[in-house]
Chains A and B, each alone.
Chain A
Amino acid sequence: MIQAIFRKEFFKIRVLTLLTLIVHICILLYIYVSTRRLFILDHPEVVWYRVLHLGQIYYGTLKYIPLLSGILIACFQFLPEMWGERFRLSLHLPVSPALVALSHLLVGMTVYCALALIDLWGLGLIMGLFFPWQGIKISLLTALPWAMAGAAAYLGMALAMLEPDFRLKAVNLIITAGVTGLYLQNVDPGAYGPSLVLLIVPLILLMPAVLLPVFRFRYRRVG
């Protein structure tokens, strides 16, 4: 049963996944071209100074891409479920509603995490070509909260979209914006370093919180 849900969810978002993957790769290529151009236009030691010492984030294009991907994956996964309340069918399968919902989330999170890992790996690779390992480390510490913002956006959008009540939908959107904003502050590169472990907590809380609208959807009184 769960395997069938996995398959259904994968089929539902496979085109989007492919398109998002292409966009992510294009963005990484753009960052590579920008990096290369930095080194063509200026002496490498000056670029190192600007990026590693002055904290210039020239790969800032990557900041909101995970966020958009997270939102898109959630929309493609859950909007069709909510149209005509198709999700009710899944929730009436002979499996617990929590398991059904978590299976949906697992598929979305797996796809999102794969994209985020590609981003981080690509950024690390690009930095590694032009900068010493200190450069790789600081760029990954800078981009990791952005990736976490995408995960928060995915889970938060799922929370908002699965909610049947419009007032609570609005509340959930505010919660999503709030949690996502925690990861997107304008700070120096690598400034999030010591807080990254703690910042996993809101993501962990979002996961079971999504079950609340699912239960409400499943057990609400209709009519």
Chain B
Amino acid sequence: MNRNALAVYCILVILVSAVYLPILYDKIFIDDVEKTHLFLSPVSQDFILMEKIVGKVPDAARGFAFDHHSNLAYMKADGTYVPRKAFERHLPFIYYKNMEIIGVLPITLNGQTFDKKTIKAQRRVLEIKARDLADRYPEVPFYPLLESNPGQARLVFPENRFRMTDSDMEFINADANIVDTGLTEMYTHALEKKGFVFPARSVNGKFTVLKPFDEGVFLVDHNFHVFHVKRVDDKPSIAKTPISTDLKIRAIKVSENKQKKYYGMALSGDGRIFLLGYNNYGLTPVPLADYDPDRMDLKLIFNPLYCTAIYSDDTIIRAVAMDKNFVPIKTFVHTMSRATMTGAGKARDLLFPFTLKLGTTSSCGYVTARAVPGTIWSLAGMGICVLLFTGGTKTATGQWPGRLRIITVAFTGLYGLIAMIIAGVSE
């Protein structure tokens, strides 16, 4: 018997087990729960949330589950549960269509009266997700530069797309699939004239025609200067913004909106978030504590009274409510129910000493391979596997198993045990 072949075979069995057994277990026993929905209620001026409860559902929550599953809970920041309809009434700026149907609109809050039209005009959501950042998902760096003055109601894609090379803003004609030298020279020259230094660090824009109008793209050059590039009447319209290079702008999430107050959100190199204003590209800092753009998804919800920043990783959700001047007025931190350790979760840790994961994650759109270690419970599981293996082998064969095999099972737990059983059959 070739020992090396057997060793490689066992490694293969361990690898495949470590990838698929946890997946299988999760599919059977673990509930896939989405993130908590958290909002600031302009009615109670406090936070209110909706989440799926993992584990035992409290009687108080179950008592309000008139028109939905009992494990879906609507909860105020102080921990009291409310029925779904009361939850919606706390958020008239979000559920304004329902409020109109039940006759609550126009609504008076903080001495101001808001009708449907006002609410609709002043609502806005800006979002920046960890997996949407450049280099965190497989983006094709090849963009359309829409005509910002299309002379018609609807935006259309131009016949060409551009890519940023080391020395050019290069346009490719889609009809012929060749470089459009005229446009390339025109835009490259216009950029260089404004002081753009190639190669570009990032290209930021909203690359769709499904938006009310087009604001072009924001290019960050090699020296971290930010340039606003638009195509107006088929000519380049380029502005070098006064945004400080010290900020080392990493990404700008552009989102055209009829309010025309902010182009979108800018993420600096040190992980701070700014709103990029229309007024001479002024930056308004959004005060977020403990925000990590590489792990967290951020949402800014604007309503006629407040702006609320909600950001979360896989387990903790945080919120900052701000007034019109982006001064924090209330904060909230909540461990989401999805982070609750259930009996099935503990059994999972007991069974699996580690998990090999291959796939995308909530914060990365690339397929990555990673080993996720177990918890202290896993050590107990590994010990049980060793006992089962040694005892089982002694009972079945009358001999103790070899030291190397015991070590393999000790370090790889259930996976190793499976591999050793198969190896036993194989011999």
Contact = CB atoms under 8 A, between A and B. Distances in A.
Interface of A: 43-49, 52-53, 55, 98, 129-132, 134-135, 138, 141, 165, 167-168, 171, 174-175, 178-179, 181-182, 185, 187-195, 198-199, 202, 205-206, 208-209, 211-212, 214-216, 219
B360 A191 contact: yes
Nearest to B360: A187
Nearest to A189: B138
B368 A45 contact: no
Contacts of A129: 177
Contacts of A179: 12, 16
A171 B207 CA distance: 49
**Majority secondary structure of chain B interface residues (helix, strand, loop or mixed):** mixed
Contacts of B20: 178, 181
A159 to B, nearest CB: 8
B19 interface: yes
B161 A193 contact: no
A168 B160 CA distance: 57
B140 interface: yes
Contacts of B157: 43, 45-46, 49
B116 interface: no
A185 B359 CA distance: 8
16 contacts: A43-B174, A45-B159, A45-B160, A47-B174, A52-B161, A53-B142, A165-B426, A178-B16, A182-B19, A191-B367, A192-B367, A198-B369, A208-B5, A209-B8, A212-B9, A215-B2
Contacts of B6: 212
B138 A208 contact: no
B15 A132 contact: no
A198 B371 CA distance: 13
Contact of B5 (A187, A193, A212): A212
Contacts of B137: 188, 191
Given A52-B142, A130-B177, A211 B367 contact: no
Nearest to B20: A178
B1 A216 contact: yes
B425 A208 contact: no
B425 A167 contact: yes
Select the residue from A48, A192, A211, A212 with max chain B CB neighbours within 10 A: A212
Nearest to B159: A45
B360 A131 contact: no
A63 to B, nearest CB: 15
- Which 5 A/B pairs are nearest by Cβ-Cβ distance? A44-B174, A190-B138, A178-B16, A211-B5, A212-B5
B26 to A, nearest CB: 15
B177 A132 contact: yes
A181 B16 CA distance: 10
A77 B20 CA distance: 29
B11 interface: yes
A195 B140 contact: no
Contacts of A194: 366-368
Given A168-B422, A187-B359, A202 B2 contact: no
B175 interface: yes
A188 B139 CA distance: 9
B367 A195 contact: yes
Interface centre among B160, B359, B426 (most CB of A within 10 A): B426
B366 A45 contact: no
Interface string B202-228: 000001000000000000000000000
A135 B172 CA distance: 12
Interface residues of B, number: 42
Contact of B175 (A44, A178, A182, A198): A44
B365 interface: yes
Given A188-B138, A202-B15, A165 B366 contact: no
Contact of B422 (A132, A171, A178): A171
Contacts of B2: 98, 211-212, 215
Contacts of B160: 45
B5 A134 contact: no
Given A178-B16, A188-B360, 19 more contacts: A48-B142, A48-B174, A49-B207, A134-B142, A135-B140, A165-B425, A165-B426, A178-B19, A182-B358, A191-B137, A191-B365, A194-B366, A199-B369, A205-B8, A209-B9, A211-B2, A212-B2, A215-B2, A216-B1
Contacts of B366: 191-195
A138 B360 CA distance: 17
A185 B367 CA distance: 9
B419 to A, nearest CB: 10
B413 interface: no
A195 B368 contact: yes
B233 to A, nearest CB: 19
A191 B16 contact: no
Interface in B62-108: none
A45 B1 contact: no
B158 interface: yes
Contacts of A182: 19, 358
Contacts of B367: 185, 187, 191-192, 194-195
Contacts of A48: 142, 161, 174
A104 to B, nearest CB: 15
Nearest to B4: A208
A83 B9 CA distance: 24
B134 interface: no
Given A44-B175, A49-B157, A202-B12, A212 B144 contact: no
